[in-house]
Amino acid sequence: MSALHRVSVVIPCFNAEPYIAATLRSVLGQTGAELEVIVVDDGSTDDSVARIEREFPQVRLIRRANAGVAAARNAGIAAATGDWVAFCDADDIWLPGKLSAQFEAIAASQGCRMSYTAWYVWTSAEPQPDPALLQHLAAESGQAAKWTGATGWLYPELLLDCVVWTSTVLVQRSLLDETGVFDTELRIGEDYDLWLRTSRVTSIERVSRPLALYRQHPASITRSMPSDNYRGRVVQRALDVWGLAGPDGRQADAAAVRNGLAGSWSEFAYAQLEAGQRHAARRSAREALRVRPGHWLGWKLLLRSWLPDARRSS
């Protein structure tokens, strides 16, 4: 019988006291691997640390001043001793069999060093998922067609969208040594940037079963406006370095990539208009039109940016 893979699970935590126990139970309940669970507390001001220390003495706890999720994950990676690293956010849930299914997918694809799974978007403030939801997902897990998604050499697909969700990722530690870790200069999109880099080195195998719950909090539907168009920056950086072609020779559709980039700038321009930042919105709309001159939404937003009351114009 072969030895179990040693997996270091990195969990960044910031003020997640209501949820961290359920998250840790879902991770510690995994089979098919030898686990090292590392929680990096990113300057929490609630009772997250106290709860972890009280209820989960087997978990490695790293405490640090708040520096953002990228820095927290990087601290966990630096402390990891496993040959594989997995990520889970402090309010998400892994479902039974996640790691085992991923190692099966990796073994079936020669040379593969990274995997992710399908997931279910779970809008809830309850710490623990309802058993009825888990039964429903278990019943649907065999419907592979419903949960299918991009798999293999994903660079062209990633240029169009961040199809990989971080709380499902399992990656060989040595791969992160090659590609580098999360870019702490990116407050948003640091994961997207890293998966684009890993997609240049390895195939990324998807498990077409929902094996994680991605929590969305009902109270956090309205979010603060980002300070930059991180999606556009990340994709443009990849294009500047590698262009449209993936390592397997497949080429991303140039028009679709341009349209996606222009759309990201238009979305950013719209958010700026809603915040009353007309001059900034004008610059973003112009960037959308630089990428794709025929982008009608960019023209519409550019016009709106000149109106005296752009936030209330239609």
Q: Which domain holds residue 66?
A: 5-220
Judgement on whether residues 88 and 199 belong to the same structural domain of the protein: yes
- How many domains is the chain partitioned into structurally? 2
Judgement on whether residues 145 and 28 belong to the same structural domain of the protein: yes
**Sequence-distant (≥ 6) Cβ neighbours of residue 203 within 8 angstroms:** 109, 111, 112, 114, 151, 152, 153, 154
Average the pLDDT over 246-266 and give the result.
Answer: 97
Whether 242 is in a domain gets the answer no
At 72-102, the pLDDT tens digits run 999 999 999 999 999 999 999 999 999 999 9
The predicted pLDDT at position 240 comes to 97
> Taking 50 as the threshold, does the pLDDT of residue 310 lie above it?
no
The predicted pLDDT at position 11 comes to 98
Whether 132 is in a domain gets the answer yes
Average the pLDDT over 247-264 and give the result.
Answer: 97
Give the separation between CA 38 and CA 272, rounded to whole angstroms: 38
Judgement on whether residues 278 and 147 belong to the same structural domain of the protein: no
Q: How confident is the model at residue 139 (pLDDT cuts 50, 70, 90)?
A: confident
Judgement on whether residues 188 and 296 belong to the same structural domain of the protein: no
Judgement on whether residues 118 and 22 belong to the same structural domain of the protein: yes
Give the separation between CA 147 and CA 98, rounded to whole angstroms: 14
Output the DSSP codes for 201-250.
Answer: TS-EEEEEEEEEEEEE-GGGSS-PPPSS-HHHHHHHHHHHHHTTB-TTS-
Give the separation between CA 103 and CA 105, rounded to whole angstroms: 5
Give the separation between CA 156 and CA 15, rounded to whole angstroms: 36
Judgement on whether residues 205 and 264 belong to the same structural domain of the protein: no
Percent of the chain scoring above 90 in pLDDT: 88
- Beta-carbon neighbour count of residue 1 at 10 Å? 3
pTM score of the predicted model: 0.93
